[in-house]
Amino acid sequence: MKELSDFLGEQTLNHLNTQLTAFAYAQLGSQSAAQDAVQDSLLAAVQSLEKFKGHSAFKSWVFAILKHKIADVLRTRHKEASLYVEEDITELVFDEAGHWQAGFVPSVLEPQVATENEAFWQVLELCLQNLSALQGRVFLMKEYIGLDGDEICRILSLTKQNYYVLMHRAKLQLQVCLTRHWFEGEI
């Protein structure tokens, strides 16, 4: 980045870096992802540094590169979400023959006790938070908000097949979590 601070001056570079990072953070929602995208964009921009005479032209150029980077990151995320690169709970819960593994079998949930118990809600909330973002959304849209499967698929651009897989995993994940933290008190 030496070339760059020579070209822009230390202060302008720092200021630009802050602006770029704030912009990327707003789109990506993660500080480390934002910093990575900014770093990549600056490195790419430096390669054509000699083409730019003024700072402002250079800034627009970096922003343009950053926008492409962000779009790439978001596109990859979307693809990952729809391909379920997220952890596959079924591999933990079931053995190769598809039988329940010891330690993952569900316990009996007593709703009367549960609904009146503040502690149960805290555990349930924790377990819902532990779901992947997409699983959590799908599960709550269905079970809490009460939307039907077709509607959820339309809103989240999922295929029916994706939706079934997400619901299956979300429910397994929740029950494993509830069994661990509620029934065995391992909070």
Question: Which pair of structure tokens corresponds to residue 31?
Answer: 């500080």
> Nearest approach, Cβ of 108 to other proteins (angstroms)?
6
94 scored as a contact of other proteins (CB under 8 A): yes
Q: Taking CB under 8 A as the criterion, which residues in 168-187 touch other proteins? A: 168, 171-172, 174-175, 178
Contacts 24+ apart (CB under 8 A), 126-132: 126/177, 126/181, 126/187, 127/173, 127/174, 127/177, 127/178, 127/181, 128/174, 130/173, 130/177, 131/170, 131/173, 131/174, 132/86, 132/87
Do 2 and 44 meet the contact criterion of CB atoms below 8 Å apart?
no
Half-sphere exposure of 82 (CA within 13 A, CB side): 11
**Pick from 114, 126, 130, 181: which binds other proteins (CB under 8 A)?**
114
154 scored as a contact of other proteins (CB under 8 A): no
Nearest to 89 by CA among 141, 132, 139: 132
> Nearest approach, Cβ of 96 to other proteins (angstroms)?
10
> Nearest approach, Cβ of 140 to other proteins (angstroms)?
8
Cα torsion 60, 66, 71, 74 to 10°: value is -150
Q: How many residues bind other proteins (CB under 8 A)?
A: 36
Considering the complex, state which of residue 80 and residue 88 has its C-beta at the smaller distance from other proteins: 88
- Contact stretch for other proteins (CB under 8 A) within 18-26, 54-62, 66-74, 92-100: 92-100
40 scored as a contact of other proteins (CB under 8 A): no
Considering the complex, state which of residue 79 and residue 100 has its C-beta at the smaller distance from other proteins: 100
Considering the complex, state which of residue 13 and residue 165 has its C-beta at the smaller distance from other proteins: 165
Nearest to 18 by CA among 73, 61, 62: 62
149 scored as a contact of other proteins (CB under 8 A): yes
In single-letter form, the type of residue at position 130 comes to: N
Residues lying near other proteins in the complex (CB under 8 A): 90, 93-94, 97-100, 105-109, 111, 114-115, 121, 124, 140, 142-146, 148-149, 160, 163-165, 167-168, 171-172, 174-175, 178
